[in-house]
Structure 1
């Protein structure tokens, strides 16, 4: 395994992070625990979860994933060997069963306390805002369209002040963003720069893959100049970049087969690009998944690549991508496809 640190901290994390959002929905508890056992054995010490998981969200499965992780900690006593990240869900129609008061101080405190109970731990290493309260373009929206009925008013100072209290109390160590835009990132950094006592957002968890490199447009410069690391999610685009959906295939129990509304990586241009990337991988003796993950692993702004799997075979291949170094020829061929079909999946 390869390691780095969370930006501006001494917290050492693996460059591969174990994603968990299928546990309790597509995966049973025993399967999730087997994944944690295998990942830890391979040197993965960074796990990412959220109160929202498993996904798709449903009130009958609320926070089941955190409970699975908590039971694993209780069973094997490995908490001190894991850097643990979780998230508070933002307001949305599909999270109304969780809460309806957004990121108010009481909501953040209650969310953290709930996660701590379920995870059976005294602290969370990295606590993230899963997506913004304000109306903006996330979850498959390419462009921003103002909402004339938006009720949000700027409360970012208050959010950071609440998080500061939780850091002071030892309940969380560091804070980060997720599904955030350049404006949002800079607004949080502006508050932290103006008020030295406030915690600074050190990571941003956004989608990044061969099919979606929009992070490079704006956010990568912020990452470089402000030392904010990317935690890349969906590096295989819901499994699309494994090639398993090519030719119109619908593998049994696969994510897009089970949940066809998760189709942002399945439009005609994304399928065309996936086919072109598959040809590059085949021409260089690689699987498409290996090449796609190794590409993400190579990015200078990456802190950790969040991989998810529903089988141990998938997990082995995904974690193994850390040992693959792509040649200049592969990078060059990838860029040629990207020039022709840039960012087909928003």
Structure 2
């Protein structure tokens, strides 16, 4: 029998809604590269989370919408769920009302619902200012009841500020971006803009594909495409960031040893707990999106421990000593601002 999951102790506001600060990311349902699980086992895992108070699920890749939508329909009261999905525009698009409405209806059909809790909008080409037209139409559809809240996904600091200024207070509630002890780019302006406009960051990559965990402490650098240690697509991405952009595997091991020491100071908490707490301690962070291989491997009970402690000044100083030796603070110039890696 699975151990009980302690309920969340920290919540954040997205618009008028209060949500727990740990959310379940569903992108790992997009491919068997993360492993495959029986649909019933996936829904049982989702049920455990909801029963424990973790009712926020996010993402639209693969069958994620249909799975979470079907799960919601089977609940006696689906109003306890909060589901985030996305509309991503990667190619040339003239976002008329009809085009935007059809995109929204596509998400509604996938989720099998009448209203989207949080629609996260991604626009690939900043040179095409039609993203403002698209957002205007999304606002209108929000007033018509199709959408409860509008968020952004992988928008940079400049464009978050522009959009929030153009659309007005409260129009945008969130921006989903990468943020971790390794990737600290949101500290270079994004956090200030979020505080200015009351926008919360929904962060992914907070555990760097699980590299920020005890599993990798003392281990050699893996071969990205080796057969002995098979990496997921996310892990290959984050391994590149660690080795090429951030520093080296040796320095990364130094970071893991420091995080392990801090975990021991707090009664044996995991490296993942410390890495998550570091991100959550930033006031502009609404919550962390933890990708879950539902029905395969679950860390729900361990993740909940993040609510039981705070980092001390010494903890922060020890982490900062490692970061000062890395390229962490220079990623904003080498990779670019938040989301730039997807627009290269």
- TM-score > 0.5 by shorter chain: yes
CA distance in 1, matches of 2:17, 2:133: 26
Q: Specify whether residues 156 and 114 from structure 1 end up closer, same or farther in structure 2 by C-alpha distance, changes over 3 A only.
A: closer
> How far does residue 161 in structure 1 lie from its aligned partner after superposition?
2.0
| Equivalent pair of 2:222/2:229 in contact (CA under 8 Å) | no
> How far does residue 272 in structure 1 lie from its aligned partner after superposition?
3.8
**Counterpart for residue 320 of structure 2:** 335
Q: Specify whether residues 101 and 321 from structure 1 end up closer, same or farther in structure 2 by C-alpha distance, changes over 3 A only.
A: same
Q: Which moved more, 1:241-250 or 1:294-303?
A: 241-250
**Counterpart for residue 291 of structure 1:** 274
CA distance in 2, matches of 1:297, 1:5: 11
> How far does residue 326 in structure 1 lie from its aligned partner after superposition?
2.3
Say which SS state the counterpart of residue 232 (structure 1) adopts: strand
Which protein has the bigger helix share?
2
> How far does residue 134 in structure 1 lie from its aligned partner after superposition?
1.3
| Equivalent pair of 1:229/1:301 in contact (CA under 8 Å) | yes
What per-residue deviation string (whole Å, max 9, x for no partner) do you get for residues 64-112 of structure 1?
A: 11111111112224420012111112215xxxxxxx6375543332222
Say which SS state the counterpart of residue 93 (structure 2) adopts: coil
Normalised TM-score (structure 1): 0.79
| Equivalent pair of 1:16/1:322 in contact (CA under 8 Å) | no
Say which SS state the counterpart of residue 112 (structure 1) adopts: helix
| Equivalent pair of 2:204/2:289 in contact (CA under 8 Å) | yes
> How far does residue 273 in structure 1 lie from its aligned partner after superposition?
4.1
Point out where structure 2 has 5 or more consecutive residues left out of the alignment.
Answer: 1-7, 336-344
Say which SS state the counterpart of residue 299 (structure 1) adopts: coil
Q: Specify whether residues 30 and 263 from structure 1 end up closer, same or farther in structure 2 by C-alpha distance, changes over 3 A only.
A: farther
CA distance in 1, matches of 2:221, 2:283: 34
Cα RMSD of the aligned pairs, angstroms, is 2.5
Normalised TM-score (structure 2): 0.80
Q: Which structure has more RCO (C-alpha within 8 Å, separation ≥ 6)?
A: 2
Point out where structure 1 has 5 or more consecutive residues left out of the alignment.
Answer: 55-63, 93-99, 136-151
**Counterpart for residue 283 of structure 2:** 300
Q: Specify whether residues 80 and 270 from structure 1 end up closer, same or farther in structure 2 by C-alpha distance, changes over 3 A only.
A: farther
CA distance in 2, matches of 1:165, 1:233: 29
What per-residue deviation string (whole Å, max 9, x for no partner) do you get for residues 190-215 of structure 1?
A: 2113xx8xx71121111000110100
CA distance in 1, matches of 2:199, 2:102: 27
